[in-house]
Every structure is written in C-alpha cells, then in structure tokens.
Amino acid sequence: MNYKKFMLQAINDADKYKYTAKPNPVVGAILLKEESIISSGCHEQYGCNHAEINAIENAKKNIGKIFKDFSELTLICSLEPCSHVGKTGSCAHKIVESGIKNVIIGSIDPNPKVSGKGIKILKDNDVSVTIGILDELVEQQNKSFFFKHRNKRPYITVKIASSKDGKSHYPNISQTDITSKESKKDVQIVRANHDAILTGGNTLRSDNPRMNARVHFSLNQPKKILLTNKSFDLTYNFFKDNNVDIHKTKNLDKIIKSYYRDEITSILVEAGPKLVNSFLKANLVDELIVYRSNIELGSDGVDWFEDNNAIEKYDFKLESSCRIDNDIKETYKK
C-alpha cells in the first residue's frame, strides 16, 4: 500500500500542536484498517499523552464495530515510538500490548534515549516495521529537535533590529526605536517559535524588556535566560515571569552546551551588539534574522557588527526576505 498520503496527514495533523507540544517534537499517528482511517491522535501538549497512545485510545470506541481487534490495524506514526518511560508510558510497549502487528514510521527518533530502541522493542515482539516514509519532512517539521540531538546543543537564532545603514542605536540614549509596530508584532511570533529567549545585562538595563511571547494563541512560553556579571535588581520586567535562568560566567560555549541536558531545543538571542558579536565569534549562531528599517542613524550610530559591519565574514547567506510595513525582514543561514 502507498502509505505516503497517510503519513502526510499525520505530519499535518501534528503541526497544529507546535506551540503546545514544545519543547517536545510534534508527532502524529493514524490507525488504518486497509485503506480506511479508524482513528488518529497527536502529541497535543507537553507532558501529556504521546500521539500513538491518543490514536490507540481513540480507536477503542470502535472495537467490535468497525474492527475486531488491533491485529487488523496498521499504525502510521511520524516519529519512532518511544522506548523510554518518560512523563507518560513507553509507546513501543503500549503498541505491543495493544496487539498491533504492523507499524509504519516516518523518522527514527534522534533522541539517544529512544533512537532505534523503540524499533527494537517492536521487532523483538514480532511487529513488522517500515521506516523512512517522508522522514525528511518530519525532520524539517522538528528542525530544532533534530538539530539539538545531532549537535549536542540547541539551535541558536539571533534577532536584531537594524537601521538601513546597519546601526543598532545611538550611544548613551537608553532606547533607539528603529522598526515598525508590525515588525514588533512579527517578533512575537518568532519568540513563540523558540524554547528560550536569551539576553544580556546591557539590554536589560537600557530597554527593560519583558521578553515573553505576546501572541493570541495558547503556547508554552519560552524560558528566559539572562547573561550578566553585574548586579541587578529584580524589579525589571524580565523577571515578571518565573521561568528565568541567570548565568554569571562569560563562557558562552559552556552555557549553551549546558542546555543540551535541559529540554531546550532552540534559543533566540535578543541582545545588543556586544553580546551578539560574542555569539558570532564563538560560532554559536545558526540563523540571523534582521528587521531592517529605512531609517538611517548615520555615523553617530553604533555598528551592529564588528570590522566595519562585515557580517559576510561569518558565511551567512540570505535565505529569504519579505517586506513588513516600511521594514524588510531578512533571514540568513549558514
């Protein structure tokens, strides 16, 4: 049978939960009897049932009606069923217990706690397993989850607001407003797409940002990370939410790698030129988003990048650009 169209449906279903499943990957599952769909399920909420469990539970009400027992059914799941007993049970064991005999998997799970082990549990229990149906799409959909496990650190995006002439702000002025309201709204979505937002003490003191995602849909708010070796008081807006980590060390590599153990797959850096340039020099930037206004700050403005604003030396290539009000949003990747 051609399972691709069902896998595509499972992938699409899963996508609806990207803001509530995070930092977990989104996963979709479908139970089929021959060519007809008996039930479907997704990993809807971090800490709650995995997709396969929801699909199995949703099918149970049709037992004895549309099908007699689970051995008649084929399970399509976009990610390898988990082997571990995490916040919920092990999906691979639940599948075996249910009596399902045929499982079609999109991608192997890159998480070393699971990778290959879920498949082994199924095969050891005489379940037939097919792997690699639309696996590239599954990886694309869970880009930062795969990146984190492959690179042993979260995916890092730097977001900056720049004047037309590549400047950040005027020195000694607390905040220089550069981009439009619409761009600022767009930033809220970018924030919502990340597991953590990181800033430095200078930005905290000069802008007093809240740095949460102010959007009109439910989501798991990003964790907040502050890097500073100066003292600060807790009245800043940044501390209005509970989920804040503070690091006093300047060793960026160590800080970022420490989040591999935490459940953080992506970090958005929103900071001033000094910290942004430190991330670039440490080779810790995977994506750069520039909101570029048509205002020029002139020679009094502070350059975003060192060495005469030469971002090119870091090998970024423009991947996409679009207009937002009077600004241009540019996305660069390596």
Strands (E), 3-71: 28-33, 36-42
- Rounded Cα gap, residues 83 and 36, in angstroms: 28
Task: List Cα–Cα distances, 93 to 59, 101, 109, in angstroms.
Answer: 17, 12, 16
> Choosing among Zn ion, ligand AOF, none, which partner's interface includes residue 13 (Cβ < 5 to 8 Å by kind)?
none
Contact range with ligand AOF by CB under 6 A, out of 86-94, 136-144, 223-231, 284-292: 86-94
Tokens 């810790």 belong to 284
Contact range with ligand AOF by CB under 6 A, out of 84-92, 99-107, 201-209, 238-246: 84-92
- Rounded Cα gap, residues 12 and 2, in angstroms: 17
Name which of residues 201 to 230 contact ligand AOF (CB under 6 A).
none
SS3 83: coil
Name which of residues 44 to 63 contact ligand AOF (CB under 6 A).
50-52
- Rounded Cα gap, residues 264 and 194, in angstroms: 9
In the numeric block, which tokens belong to residue 156?
A: 């890092």
- Phi, psi dihedral angles at 325 (to 5 degrees): 55, -125
Contact range with ligand AOF by CB under 6 A, out of 5-13, 75-83, 93-101, 286-294: 75-83
Q: Which of 91, 187, 227, 252 binds ligand AOF (CB under 6 A)?
A: 91
- Phi, psi dihedral angles at 274 (to 5 degrees): -65, -50
Name which of residues 58 to 87 contact Zn ion (CB under 5 A).
82
284 is a contact residue toward ligand AOF (CB under 6 A): no
122 is a contact residue toward Zn ion (CB under 5 A): no
Residue type, 126: D
Write down the least CB distance from residue 81 to Zn ion, Å: 6
* Active-site residue flag, 34: no
On the CB side of 108, how many CA atoms lie within 13 Å of its CA?
12
Q: Which of 109, 139, 207, 286 binds ligand AOF (CB under 6 A)?
A: 109
> Residue 199 belongs to what H/E stretch?
strand 196-200
Write down the least CB distance from residue 114 to Zn ion, Å: 8
Query: DSSP letter at 234?
Result: T
Write down the least CB distance from residue 31 to Zn ion, Å: 15
Which residue among the candidates 35, 52, 72, 270 is catalytic per the annotation? 52
Write down the least CB distance from residue 118 to Zn ion, Å: 8
**What residues make contact with ligand AOF under the rule CB under 6 A?**
24-25, 27, 43, 50-52, 79, 81-82, 86-88, 91, 109, 111, 114
Give me the active site residues, please.
52
